[in-house]
């Protein structure tokens, strides 16, 4: 009992070093526990089977994948756009009525020619689609995209509301451009 009192009196006279030792010890123990129990598990998702493109026109098509509509404020549906000048990027919104929580597909178009011609782009998005099964059509849209008339790096990003909050994987996107 006397030795405990002597030990306590020594610790109380040296508060800062004793507290520092306690803190370092606690941090070390927590770090050791976390390091011993931490595991990393990789999960591969197979939500989108692929994009099938048929492009007889002059556009580059870049599928940006699936998104969820977070806010539909200010969105007005349209199916026509003209490529702008360098760095001028435009957006098209179509498909189902944009509603927060719906899935949507994002596709970016770049016109690689200097023409001012109209190009017809048809997009079909299928859920649960696999070869040879066609799946369920989530969206089917036809766009008219007009070339910039001169060399341009402008893009048109198309957002297609799929009209659903749940999707049966995989998804297949068919794009045809003339």
Let me know how long the chain is: 178
Determine the Cα–Cα distance for residues 162 and 127; give it in Å rounded to an integer.
10
User: How many C-beta atoms lie closer than 10 Å to residue 62's C-beta?
Assistant: 14
Q: Do both 125 and 157 map to the same domain?
A: yes
140 in the same domain as 81: yes
Give the pLDDT score at 16: 56
Based on the fold, state whether residues 91 and 7 are members of the same structural domain. Answer: no
Q: What is the 3-state secondary structure (H, E, C) of 74-119?
A: CCCCCCEEECCCCCCEEEEEEECCCCCCCEEEEEEEEECCCCCCEE
- Whether 125 is covered by a domain: the verdict is yes
* Alpha helices by DSSP H, the chain: 2-13, 15-37
The stretch 27-41 carries a mean pLDDT of: 63
Model confidence at 131, pLDDT cuts 50, 70, 90, reads low
Are residues 77 and 152 both part of a single domain? yes
Assign 168 a pLDDT band (cuts: 50, 70, 90): confident
Give tens-digit pLDDT for 4-30: 555 556 655 555 566 666 666 777 776
**Same-domain status, 94 and 134:** yes
Q: Is residue 162 part of a domain?
A: yes
User: Once rounded to an integer, what is the mean pLDDT over residues 111-140?
Assistant: 84
Q: Are residues 84 and 137 in the same domain?
A: yes
Domain that holds residue 26: 2-37
Average pLDDT over residues 31-57: 58
Structural domain count, the chain: 2
Domain shared by 155 and 113, yes or no: yes
Together in a domain, 104 and 132: yes
* Pairs from 17-25 (Cβ < 8 Å, separation ≥ 24): none
Instruction: State what percent of residues in the chain have pLDDT above 70.
Output: 67
pTM for the full model?
Answer: 0.69
At 57-73, the pLDDT tens digits run 678 888 898 999 999 88
Asked if residue 43 belongs to a domain, the reply is: no
- Give whole-number Cα distances, 26 to 7, 11, 12, 14, 33, in Å: 20, 17, 19, 19, 11
172 and 97 share one domain: yes
């Amino acid at each position: 009992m006397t030795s405990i009192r002597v030990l306590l009196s020594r610790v109380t006279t040296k508060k800062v070093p004793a507290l520092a030792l306690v803190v370092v010890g606690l941090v070390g123990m927590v770090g050791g526990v976390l390091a011993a129990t931490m595991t990393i598990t990789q999960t591969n998702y197979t939500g989108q089977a692929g994009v099938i493109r048929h492009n007889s026109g002059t556009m580059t098509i870049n599928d940006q994948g699936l998104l969820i509509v977070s806010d539909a404020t200010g969105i007005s549906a349209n199916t026509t756009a003209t490529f702008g000048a360098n760095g001028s990027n435009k957006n098209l919104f179509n498909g189902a009525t944009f509603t927060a929580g719906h899935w949507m597909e994002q596709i970016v178009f770049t016109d690689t020619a200097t023409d001012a011609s109209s190009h017809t782009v048809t997009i079909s998005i299928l859920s649960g689609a696999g070869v040879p099964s066609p799946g369920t059509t989530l969206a089917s849209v036809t766009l008219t995209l007009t070339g910039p008339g001169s060399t341009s790096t402008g893009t048109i990003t198309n957002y297609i509301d799929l009209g659903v909050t749940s999707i049966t994987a995989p998804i297949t996107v068919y794009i045809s451009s003339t």
